[in-house]
Amino acid sequence: HAGEYGHNNYQFFSKSLNVAAFHKLAMENSLRRAIERDELELYYQAKIDIRRHRVVGCEALIRWRHPELGLIGPSQFIPIAEDSGLIAQISNWVLENACRQVLAWRRQGDCPELVMAVNVSANQFRQPGFGGHVREVLAQIGLEPRYLKLELTETILLHNVEDALVTLRELQALGVRISIDDFGTGYSSLSYLKKLPISELKVDHSFVRDLPHNEDDMAITTAILALAEALSLEVVAEGVENQDQANFLLDNGCTVVQGFLYQRPMPATEFAEFARVFDSRSAADPIPR
Ligand code: C2E
Ligand code: MG
Ligand code: MG
Ligand code: MG
């Protein structure tokens, strides 16, 4: 992620476990105050239909603007939040803010058909009453459920399929859509795909990276695309960084992509401007870099 997170980001290659433990505790304590101090931010990355040249959705990605350490990415603090129980509070903050944002855009007439995707952590999804909680948040904010999509990994879904199914059915009944994130990197069980009410598969970045040169990745990607097509699921490829990857995906029926080739995750105001400009160009125009 060259360039996105701050340079003064902590570099912590622990010399001893004590240092690691101290560091974790310090991070935990400052994370505890991050919400009250208003240090959390959502960045947004577009899901782009490259055939129609339209922004069709976006994904909310959390960042922590630490006063001393700069912009910190989720992989550096979500695990700490999960371990320390702070994840519930952070997850609620993300869900509420992402829903408010998409509603604000709709009211301003920006991105009228955009669906907001929110990443859901394992602990959050397994909270009893998660479905009801999502319903309450949507009702309180006044957002129609069809504008919200939840991204879950296979591991989260398959940890306890029966419980997951109950929650997913509640969300489905509500009208919230479900996407399977990092598809193909978790359990390789396909039988659940026909059982669970999901609407989207996200082809993991790791399969996209070496397209169209690595034969294995080409085979895996085309297989996932065929599976999505056969099961009438939407499909999104993540981590598209170059035109060869985009062309391969398009040639193989994947029309929706996310990646640095089109847009890096950015704050809400910039995102709305990006989407406006992008949508106003015709498919024949070169894609802005
Ligand atoms: P993810 O949901 O699979 O998100 C995709 C990650 O790939 C994001 O990293 C995004 O910035 C990055 N990315 C997008 N396009 C490209 C590209 O073209 N090339 C490369 N190399 N990377 C690209 P980020 O924002 O650092 O997020 C990492 C992970 O943290 C996410 O993976 C997600 O699992 C988690 N996460 C992010 N926001 C939240 C949140 O609000 N709640 C929870 N529970 N997890 C979150
Ligand atoms: Mg995601
Ligand atoms: Mg992903
Ligand atoms: Mg990922």
pLDDT digits (tens, 9 = 90+) for 237-282: 999 999 999 999 999 999 999 999 999 999 999 999 999 999 988 6
Among 58, 155, 238, which residue has the most ligand 1 atoms within 8 Å of its CB, making it the best to mutate? 238
Residues around ligand 4, an ion, CB closer than 5 A: 182
Residue 115 Cα to ligand 2 midpoint, Å, equals 13
Nearest ligand 1 atom, CA 118: 41
Residue 137 Cα to ligand 2 midpoint, Å, equals 20
Residue 204 Cα to ligand 3 midpoint, Å, equals 6
Residue with the bigger pLDDT between 260 and 7: it is 260
33 Cβ neighbours under 8 A, 6+ residues apart: 39
**How many other CB atoms are there within 10 angstroms of residue 268's CB atom?**
21
Helices (H) and strands (E) in the chain, counts: 12, 9
- State the Cα–Cα distance between residues 143 and 162, nearest whole angstrom: 29
Structure tokens at 142: 């006044």
Examine the pLDDT at 2 and tell me if it is beyond 70.
Answer: no
Cis peptide before 212, with omega less than 30 degrees from 0? yes
The DSSP symbol for 266 reads B
Residue 204 near ligand 1, beta carbon < 6 Å: no
Starting from the CA of residue 121, give the closest ligand. Answer: 1
pLDDT digits (tens, 9 = 90+) for 193-242: 888 999 999 999 999 999 999 999 999 999 999 999 999 999 999 999 99
- Of the ranges 76-80, 108-112, 173-177, which is most confident? 173-177
Residue 74 near ligand 1, beta carbon < 6 Å: yes
C-alpha angle 24-29-35 in degrees, rounded to nearest 5: 125
Amino acid at 107: R
Nearest ligand 1 atom, CA 240: 18
**Do residues 168 and 178 make contact, with C-beta atoms less than 8 angstroms apart?**
yes
Q: How far is CA 60 from CA 8, 11, 35, 231, 274, in A?
A: 24, 25, 17, 26, 15
Residue 167 near ligand 1, beta carbon < 6 Å: no
Q: What mean pLDDT do residues 71-81 have?
A: 94
The closest residue, in CA terms, to atom 2 on ligand 1 is 119
pTM for the model: 0.93
Which residue, among 201, 247, 245, has the nearest Cα to 226 in the 3D structure?
A: 201
Residue 1 Cα to ligand 2 midpoint, Å, equals 15
Which residue, among 84, 80, 83, 48, has the nearest Cα to 62 in the 3D structure?
A: 80
Residue 73 near ligand 1, beta carbon < 6 Å: yes
Q: Look up the ipTM and state it.
A: 0.98
**Do residues 18 and 77 make contact, with C-beta atoms less than 8 angstroms apart?**
no
232 Cβ neighbours under 8 A, 6+ residues apart: none
Residue 150 near ligand 1, beta carbon < 6 Å: no
Residue 57 near ligand 1, beta carbon < 6 Å: no
Burial of 41 (0-12, 13-18, 19+ CB in 10 A): middle
